[in-house]
Each structure stands twice: as C-alpha cells, then as structure tokens.
Structure 1
Amino acid sequence: MLIDRMALTGSILLDIFSVLIAILLVIISAFKRRYSYWKNIGVECLEPTIPFGNFKEVFNQKLTLGEFSIQYYNTMKARKAKHTGCYFLHRPVYVPMDLDIVKRIMQIDFNHFTDRGGYVNEKDEPLTATVFNLGGQRWRDLRVKLTPTFTSGKMKLMFPIMVQLSKELTQTLQEECKSSDIDVKDISARFTTDVIGNCAFGLDCNSLKDPNTEFRVQGRRIFDSTTIEMITKFLTFVFPNAMRFFHVRALPKDASDFFWKVTEETAERRRRSGTRRNDAFQLLLDMMNKIGKEGDTALTFGELAAQAFVFFVAGFETSSTLMSFALLELSVNEDLQKHLRDEINIVLRKNNGELTYEALSEMRFMDMVICETLRKYPPVPNVSRLCTKEYRIPDSNIIIRKGEGVIIPVKGIHYDPEYYPQPEKFDPTRFTEENKSKRHHFAFLPFGEGPRICLGLRFGLTQAKVGLASLIKNFKFKLNPRTKYPVKFDPKNIFTSALGGLWLNVEKID
C-alpha cells in the first residue's frame, strides 16, 4: 500500500511538472509570435528579451527610463531609422524617430492619438479621473472646462501667493545654510509644495518651516512607492481592464484618502464661510457651482478633487525637479550663475525692487536657463500616446492599429547632436530666438506638444522662475562633494531624479 501511494504521488508530481512545462512552452511560443510583429510589417526593431521585451535593463534597474530613451534612440538613429518598434513586455509600441512623424502624431493627426492610456478607476479610486489620465470625449470636455484656469490673467491673480512664499523660501534657506549643506531638491520641493498647496487646495502647508508637515509627507508618499505598489502600478498600465475588474487601486490608499479628505474639508469650509481666494481651487469651485459664463458645464465634486490632486502632484514634482537641476548646473557653471544674477538685479531695479509678473517676463536669460535645464533634464523622459483610430504612417505602408501604444523618446531627441551639438554641455544660448528658429519645433518636448500639451505648463514655469529668481538674487551656489557630476539618476523613479539628492554649498549674499 505504501509503495502504491509513493508511486501515485510520484506520478502526480510528474503530471504537474509536465503540465507546467507545457504551459511554459505555450507562453514562450506566444511571446515569440508576438515579438515577430514589427518584423512582419517591416518596422525595424531591436531584439527583445522574454518577458521584458526591450525594457529588460529598465526592469532590473540598470537603466532609468531616461537613460533607456537615449540609448534606444541613439542606436536606432545610427541605423537611420525614421520610425521603429519596440516591445513593452508583450505589447508592441511604436517609436517615431523622424520629427515630422512626431509632429503628425502629437498635433496634425492628433484625432488618431487622442489618449495617453492612463489608468482610470473612478469606482474604486476617483482621484485617477484626472485630465492627464482620461481619454476620449470625457478628456475633451474636461480640458475645455479647465483651460481657463491657467490663462495669463489667472496666473497674475495667483502670482502674489508665489512671491510671498518665495520670501519664506529665502528666509528658510538663510537659516538652514548656516549649519549644513543643502539638498536643493528637498528645499525646492518644500517651496513648490507650499505654492501648489495654496493654489490647488487653498491651504497654508508650511512645508518650508516644517519639512514633515502632512502635505509634504503625503506628497512624497505618492512617489515613494513600496515594491508591491510599484508592481501594482506597473500592472495597471499593462492590464488596465483586468485591474479595474479586480478593483485594484493605483495610488497608496493613505495618500489618496488624505487628498480626498482635504478637498472635501476645503470645499465645505469655503461654502460655509463664503470665503473667496485668488487660487486654482476657487476657480474649480466656481466651475462646480457653475459660476461663470452662461452655458458653462459644471464640474462634479469627483472631477474637482481629481484635478486638484493632479495639479498638486504633477506641479510640485516637476517644478521642484526643474528648480533643483537648474541650481545644480548654475553651481557648476558659476559664470552663468553670475550672468543670471546680474539680469535679475537689473530687472528688479527697473521695477522698484519688486518681483512682478511683468518683471519676470523681462528676464530673457532666465528663460534660456529654464529651457536648457528642461532640455537636459526633462522631468518626464518619454511621452506616451494611445492610437484611438487606425492610422497609416505617411509615405509608408505601416499601419498603427487601434489600441497600440506610441512612445515619443523625449530625452533621446533632447540629446541628439543633430539638434543640440555637444548635448551633455549645459548651454543656455541654444535657446536664443535665433537658435530656436533654426531647429525643428518638435525637437523640444519637455511638456509634450499639441492638444495634450501639459495644461499646467504656464503655472509650473512661473513658480519655478519665481523660486529661482529669489534664490539666485540672495545666494551663491557651489557644487558640494556629496553630489557627483555628471549626475547619477535614480532608476526607481519614473521622473528624472538624482540618486541621493542634489547637495550644494550655499552662501548668503550680503
């Protein structure tokens, strides 16, 4: 009997093992068939690796997405490819190289590529229904509602908030630089947290005075994901329908709940008191309450909360990234730092020492420094689009099918010597009006382009310029030995982020 049982057990184990081998062979065969897709339709592609596709080094964290973008782009550019295909796991993704094709996808033939393919799960996580993630008609309707929020007129209303907080930034840095080196990414993020907390939620966050305030902690929580959370986010991107079916959340629950509660409390407080403020949150409230032009459609509370959330998260991270890398490059290139400081002082003297919205627009070299920083360190190294209607690439037989993804290799384009000679060099003169006119317009894509260009572009640039003007006027920055240059990037962060922070020596100017 014992022998029979052992024999039976051995047979079952063998059967299970055989079934697993068969399943594995089927999976491998399916991947191989899928990985022949681009070759079959005549599009050049690098050899993929099962199951990672062409992103193996990104998954094992040997490369950041930005480094992958440059490496992939340079390899295909050397082959003189106008367009290429790659594989993200099992999914074919089209990668345009020719800037005229990029322009068609992002602008001219935009009606074929209206969506980003972001994860939306309103039932379980209403904060995912942002203007960034939504597609189709819902995106169009929401975009129309939100566009007036970031006009130059609205920026002028919010400008005094930014200036006041830039003064607090100066005071905080003056105290902190006395006793220690400064991580400029951290202090920049505290400044942008306070600015956007005020403008997106109408709250005084006080991150500059208290780095551990709840707003700052929860803002970091969105990006400081655990391993499980990173896997979950990845799965929501690859299998969005399945993740919605299983009610999977893409955001950390504690952070999501915090921002939802803050939105509810802020809206209720203003309703009861009748208080009105010159900030983005008030503009969203007016849309929800249909205060404005006749015929305007109202926002739902869920739409309001989701937009306030994405303004905060995207705004504080991208603007602080821009500010901190600009400070890094100015600390390495002290002649450029002096040039910018001289411009700031000249413009301020012309305006009685006051930083106004109009004065900021006079700072031409500031604009050049900002643009060159965005070229060298685009906050998001790739831009994605989803084909929503079958599309034939012009002058070819290549068909992009509905549902297929597109990746625009932004950082690869930004480091192309054809457009930017010596791309590793920080050179703001690339962005004089004369030099800009010599380049293809789509050779500079830090915020995307076309109808889905970043809605908060003007706001993000304005707060970064205000912060930089205050810092460069009042302090000198030098590279600290703790910061390696060129920068080593963090492979765990989807945004462009320095590994270990950006530490600089800071000296107050008397």
Structure 2
Amino acid sequence: MCPITTVLFLLVALLALIYVFLTWNFNYWKKRGIPTAKSWPFVGSFPSIFTQKRNMVYDVDDIYEQYKNTDSIVGVFNTRMPQLLVLSPEYAHQIFVTDFRSFHDNEMAKFTNKKVDKILANNPFILTGEAWKERRAEVTPGLSANRVKAVYPVSQNVCKKLVDFIKRQQRMASSEGLNAKDVCLCFTTEVVSDCVLGISAQSFTDNPTPLVGMIKRVFEQSFGFIFYTVVANLWPPIRKFYSVGLFAKDVEEFFFDIMKKCIQLRRENPVQQRDDFLNYMLQLQEKKGLDTVELTSHTMTFLTDGFETTAQVLSHILLMLARNPKEQQRLREEIGTGELSFEELSELPLIEACIHETVRIFPPLLTARKVVTQQHEFVNKNGVSVKVYPGDVVIIPVNALHHDPQYYEHPESFKPERFLEVNGGSKKFRDQGIYFGFGDGPRICPGIRFAVTQIKAALVEILRNFDIKVNPKTRTDNKFDDTYFMAALKGGIFLDFTERQ
C-alpha cells in the first residue's frame, strides 16, 4: 500500500470513528419505544445553535409542532447527549410544581464552576440541592413586600428622572426614534443600583459611571462559554477538570470591587442606613458569618437578576402598547393622574395583565432545562412508559406552550384581558401548565415582586407623560433575535415618544 493510500485510509478511518462517536447512541430513545426528533452528527436536534441563522428556540418549537398531537414526550439530542422534550402541559406542571423533587436542579449548573465563575455559581438559578435551598431561604426575605415597599420612593424618584431623560433623548432623536432597550436598561441600571446598593450609576447623564457599560457586558454571551458547553456535552468528563466562566474576569473583578466599596461606605456611614437590600445583606452577614466573597456573590444575585431581564420585559411592554394604542389609553385611564402609593400600584389589574401578556409573547425563559434528581417515569400517549434517571435532562418548551393556539386564541396577538383576575389571572394558566413567564413552583423567580413593581412604576410615569408610537424601523412581527438567549425582538425596538399636554 503506497503512502498516499495509507494516509487516505487512516483519514477515512478517523472520520468514520468520529462519526460513530457522534451518532452511536442516536437510537437511545428508539430502543425505549419513544419517538426521536431528527438529529445530525455534532449538532444533534438543535442545529441553529451552530448555524445561528435563527434563534435555537425555533428548533424546539418545530419539534413541538411535529409531535404534540401524537405524543406527550419525544427524544432529542443536545449534540450527542440524549434528552427528553416534554410536550404536554400536564407534564410541564409536574416538573415545575407537583414532582419538583424529581426535577430539582437546572441544567446550567452542570457547566458552572464556583472557582471559575463566582458570580454565576452563587446565583440561586444555578445552585443545586441543599445549597439552593439554603440560599433561597436567605435571599427571599430580602425581596419581601415590606422591603420592596421601603425602596418604592427610590423607584418613583428614578422614574421621574427617566421621564426627563426620554424628553431630552427624543429632542435629539433621529428619524429612527429611540432604542427602547437602551432606554429601559438605563432605567433598570439606575433603579437597581440605587435600591440595592444606594448609589447612582448616573445612567441618565452624559457621563454614566462604568457600571452601565459593565452591565451590558455581563450578558454578552461568551463564545468560549458556548463552545465549552458544546464540548462538555460531547465529552462530559471534561467538566471534572476544566471549566470556562460565563462572565469575563475583568467584569467579575469590577463588580466585586464596587461591592466592597459600597459595603465599606455603608459601614462608615451608619447614619445613612436605610432598609434596602444591601442593609439586609449586611445583617445576614453578621447573622451567618459570611465572608466578603459570599456577601458579594449573594448581593450580586439582586444586581444581575434585576438589570437585563427587567429591561427586556419593560421594552417589550412599551412595544406592545405602542402597537395597540387602545390598550395604551385603557392603561392611562386605569392609572389616573394622582400620585400612587405602593398599595395602589399593586392593585391595578390591567397593568398587571399587560405585564403577563407581554411575558407570554416574549418569555425571558424560552425553554426550561431541568436535571432529573430522582428517578421518574413518563407515559407517552400510546401507553409506552420510559424512566429517566438522576443526571438526565428534560426540556420544557416554554415558548411553544406560550404560543400554542390550542391554549391561547390568536397567540401572536396582544390580549392582556386573558390575564385579568376576573378571568382567572396568571394562576389559571400556571395551574394548567401553559404559562411560565417567571417560572413556577418552588424555583419561581424570587425577584418577581421587585421586578414587577419597577416595571409598573416606570409605565405609570411614561404613559402619563408620553404617547408612544412604533417607529417604522421596528419590525411588525414578533420574530426573536437569532442569537440572544432570551426572547428579544429581532432588529431591536425603536419607538417615538410624543409629550402629552
């Protein structure tokens, strides 16, 4: 055999081995009597995460549409790892609520290392088992109704600054209008920084602090982290000795530094103490004996969870109201013209319904990926049962359930009346297993009360001062950004704000 032939033979053999490695278990679910979505070598059932020609959730949605009428579960592959996609609302509700113990943890924890990613690894969304239970018990009191009420005047003050900021920006705006996401991120940065740390990020000035830019970088998806998750799915043992952080090191160091300075400032000025989240964390530190890293990572939960998600939701609500001027006017009539107390703000049914309807259309959590923590058995519509074991992953297609016309009439339309309390409110849809805007069950978003209060307060001031219209630059459908991990309108949200007389 000549050298060239030998090289070609070895190359073909190597490629064949790689192909077998990538596909040898593609019959995993078929052998168990469960239908399997079409899968490809290396990319598995979700090719869009690699092609990035459309948001990966659309791969999930396509599988859901293909199998939802014939099956309640379907096998999928994340690269070469077998996972189970749940198609029925009943099973979705079980996973989040009634059988929570069997699906206690989130898959993201598998790719996070405390030594490499201190901020993310200490977030309650990532924590597992008893560590999650302990952290949840520590964080939840810091987000109680009384504590949110205590910082409500701070939120109101920031909202008035937001109105002045929009007025200035609109006067300088081009024909493309204002970028709603940027405006909302300025708001959430300012309100969260003030409510949590007691400092101003100067978001509404011409010279914002570095905090604003760093917050944007927190949620820029790292290619290294994405590549690591792919490799870790192809070869799981790598997780034992190598990890990649989601947050860049300089970003992590910046937030730890600013936290240390805020803690020191608060301790040096006890007269300026106020009943905010940082004050709560300092009390917790004394009670639990937390070191500086633990205290900082605890407090970062309030920061990282409060910036991006709240800004996304608020910007999409403004979009929905701009597209629906009648709903915009109805909301104005509900909020009235007088100053609203915290209690009065909490008792506005239409504004609450608008938030839930927007989150249904643009859910921050596009899919929920849960790790099996106790053996569990699913039964398919044809009677075939399959067991999943600790370490397995099940996927809940949140976006697909939110947009299924079987559960929501005209699902792409903005109809906040669906979520009015007289019609059962959001609880009705959660109990049916078809609404997971803020999650559900024991791991429901702990900051939901704080986030909703900030959104409501901002909407009240914006609607009182402006008529909102969609700028022609904004697309007319609800298509998601191709690569962003949350639901975000592709191309951005550009709005025109006209001052009301």
Q: TM-score, normalised to structure 2's length?
A: 0.91
- The whole-number CA distance in structure 2 between the counterparts of 1:465 and 1:14 is 71
User: Does the 8 Å CA contact 2:221/2:246 hold for their aligned counterparts?
Assistant: no
- Please point out which of 116, 120, 136 is paired with 1:143: 136
Q: Is residue 266 of structure 2 the alignment partner of residue 270 of structure 1? A: yes
Give 1:480's aligned amino acid.
N
Q: Is residue 411 of structure 2 the alignment partner of residue 423 of structure 1? A: yes
2:82 match? 92
| Match runs of 1:415-454 below 5 Å | 415-436=403-424, 439=429, 440-454=431-445
- The whole-number CA distance in structure 1 between the counterparts of 2:168 and 2:311 is 20
Give the superposed CA RMSD.
2.2
> What is the DSSP-based 3-state SS (H/G/I as helix, E as strand, rest coil) of the residue aligned with 1:393?
strand
Change (3 A) 1:368 1:60: same
- Please point out which of 37, 55, 74 is paired with 2:46: 55
1:286 match? 283
Q: Is residue 354 of structure 2 the alignment partner of residue 369 of structure 1? A: yes
- The whole-number CA distance in structure 1 between the counterparts of 2:473 and 2:487 is 19
User: Does the 8 Å CA contact 1:489/1:497 hold for their aligned counterparts?
Assistant: yes
Q: Is residue 387 of structure 2 the alignment partner of residue 399 of structure 1? A: yes
Give 1:399's aligned amino acid.
K
| Match runs of 1:224-373 below 5 Å | 224-225=220-221, 227-228=223-224, 230-232=226-228, 235=231, 242-243=238-239, 245-274=241-270, 275-290=272-287, 297-345=288-336, 348=337, 353-373=338-358
> What is the DSSP-based 3-state SS (H/G/I as helix, E as strand, rest coil) of the residue aligned with 1:34?
coil
- The whole-number CA distance in structure 1 between the counterparts of 2:342 and 2:299 is 23
Change (3 A) 1:448 1:277: same
- The whole-number CA distance in structure 2 between the counterparts of 1:308 and 1:47 is 43
Q: Give the number of equivalent residue pairs.
A: 488
> What is the DSSP-based 3-state SS (H/G/I as helix, E as strand, rest coil) of the residue aligned with 2:498?
strand
Q: Is residue 495 of structure 2 the alignment partner of residue 504 of structure 1? A: yes
Q: Is residue 21 of structure 2 the alignment partner of residue 30 of structure 1? A: yes
Q: Is residue 140 of structure 2 the alignment partner of residue 155 of structure 1? A: no
Change (3 A) 1:216 1:165: same
Q: Give a deviation string over 1:404-432, Cα, whole Å, max 9, x none.
A: 11111111000011110111111111112
Change (3 A) 1:193 1:211: farther
Change (3 A) 1:31 1:430: same
Q: How much does 1:211 deviate?
A: 7.1
> What is the DSSP-based 3-state SS (H/G/I as helix, E as strand, rest coil) of the residue aligned with 1:93?
strand
Change (3 A) 1:239 1:340: farther
- The whole-number CA distance in structure 2 between the counterparts of 1:207 and 1:146 is 27
Q: How much does 1:253 deviate?
A: 1.4
**What fraction of aligned residue pairs are identical, expressed as a percent?**
28
- The whole-number CA distance in structure 2 between the counterparts of 1:189 and 1:235 is 33
> What is the DSSP-based 3-state SS (H/G/I as helix, E as strand, rest coil) of the residue aligned with 2:458?
helix
- The whole-number CA distance in structure 1 between the counterparts of 2:57 and 2:151 is 33
User: Does the 8 Å CA contact 1:58/1:68 hold for their aligned counterparts?
Assistant: no
Q: Give a deviation string over 1:305-344, Cα, whole Å, max 9, x none.
A: 2232232222211111111111111111111101111111
* Greater alpha carbon shift after TM alignment, 65-74 vs 455-464: 65-74
Change (3 A) 1:17 1:451: farther
1:464 match? 455
2:37 match? 46
User: Does the 8 Å CA contact 1:69/1:381 hold for their aligned counterparts?
Assistant: no
Change (3 A) 1:396 1:103: farther
- The whole-number CA distance in structure 1 between the counterparts of 2:24 and 2:362 is 37
- The whole-number CA distance in structure 1 between the counterparts of 2:339 and 2:307 is 25
Q: Give a deviation string over 1:102-143, Cα, whole Å, max 9, x none.
A: 122111111111110223322233212221111011111111
2:159 match? 166
User: Does the 8 Å CA contact 1:223/1:493 hold for their aligned counterparts?
Assistant: no
Q: Is residue 467 of structure 2 the alignment partner of residue 476 of structure 1? A: yes
Change (3 A) 1:309 1:154: same
Q: How much does 1:184 deviate?
A: 1.0
User: Does the 8 Å CA contact 2:90/2:432 hold for their aligned counterparts?
Assistant: no
User: Does the 8 Å CA contact 1:371/1:428 hold for their aligned counterparts?
Assistant: yes
- The whole-number CA distance in structure 1 between the counterparts of 2:192 and 2:202 is 11
Q: How much does 1:20 deviate?
A: 4.0
Change (3 A) 1:272 1:15: farther
2:118 match? 126
Q: How much does 1:47 deviate?
A: 1.2
- Please point out which of 73, 80, 91 is paired with 1:83: 73
* Greater alpha carbon shift after TM alignment, 55-64 vs 163-172: 55-64
Change (3 A) 1:299 1:120: farther
2:196 match? 200
1:293 match? none
Gaps of 5+ in 1: 1-6, 291-296
| Match runs of 1:5-20 below 5 Å | 11=3, 15=6, 17-20=8-11
